[in-house]
Amino acid sequence: MNRPPDFNRLAHLYQWMEFFTFGPWLSFTRGTFVSHLARSRRALVLGDGDGRFTARLLCANREIVIDAVDASSAMLQGLLRHAIPHADRVNVHLADARGWEPSVTSLDPRCDLIATHFFLDCLTQAEVESLATRLRSAVSPSAHWIVSEFAIPAGWFGRLVARPLVAVLYGSFGLLTGLTVRSLPDHASALRHAGFALKERRTHLAGLLVAELWCASLPKPTLA
């Protein structure tokens, strides 16, 4: 397993970088399904950057407790700042999510929500598959998984706009953070194989951005 990318140097600039490249659209995509999460009580949020989604979820759901996992200490500090005054409902874990193991001390077995926003695109296909299988065994039978990601839609827009843009983003973050991944994984097939079913999917910016709501619908896979 390669070292995780280093986002520490971008922590204080991340929000502005995002705004000047995509305006409000990434934030809008992250919040697509927040209104569907009123019944969630324990959430696992992976790689939320500076924590603006976490802060929004805490405000929308006054009962939820969140475990936030990130390999960047600076991003976790930003997440806690954004979480104020609800930071007492956030447990932070400075760890590489690819190898982080949920346990009874850090993640309640009744976890009923997973959130990954523009995080799975930092992983290889094999890493997404491993992560999905491992998390499926740690969540409740009624758990949901919300995903926000870039996508390359079919047609001329995908070929001429989305694909080159995604390549530029990968190259830029490779230079800035050391990210070695260079192509989008097929997270949908990984989640299906792990036992999740797609409940709802919405697209933005002509399909460049997707927001998905998945549910744990199949029996938990048996781990060898």
* Per-residue pLDDT in tens (0 to 9) along the chain, 224 residues: 788 999 999 999 999 999 999 999 999 999 999 999 999 999 999 999 999 999 999 999 999 999 999 999 999 999 999 999 999 999 999 999 999 887 654 555 578 999 999 999 999 999 999 999 999 988 988 899 999 999 999 999 999 999 999 999 999 999 999 999 999 999 999 999 999 999 999 999 999 999 999 999 755 544 43
Number of C-beta neighbours around residue 219 at 10 A: 9
Q: Is residue 156 part of a domain?
A: no
Q: Is residue 52 part of a domain?
A: yes
Q: Is residue 34 part of a domain?
A: yes
Closest CA to 178 of 137, 114, 122, 117: 122
Q: Is residue 38 part of a domain?
A: yes
Q: Is residue 194 part of a domain?
A: yes
Q: Is residue 51 part of a domain?
A: yes
* pLDDT recorded at residue 222: 45
Number of C-beta neighbours around residue 40 at 10 A: 24
* pLDDT recorded at residue 138: 86
* pLDDT recorded at residue 191: 98
How far from the centroid of its chain's Cα atoms is residue 133's Cα? 15
Which two tokens mark 190? 């990984």
Q: Is residue 155 part of a domain?
A: no
Burial of 168 (0-12, 13-18, 19+ CB in 10 A): exposed
- The DSSP H or E segment spanning 191 is helix 187-194
Q: How far apart are CA 3 and CA 158, in angstroms?
A: 31
The string of DSSP letters for 9-64 reads GGTTTHHHHHHHHHTTHHHHHHTTTGGG-TT--EEEEE--TTSHHHHHHHHH-TT-
Domains in the chain: how many in total? 1
Q: Provide the strand spans (E) within 52-136.
A: 65-70, 90-94, 113-117
Q: Is residue 179 part of a domain?
A: no
CATH code for the domain of 77 = 3.40.50.150
* pLDDT recorded at residue 109: 53
Torsion of CA 20, 44, 106, 97, to 10 degrees: -60
Q: Which domain holds residue 141?
A: 8-150+185-216
Predicted TM-score (pTM) of the model is 0.92
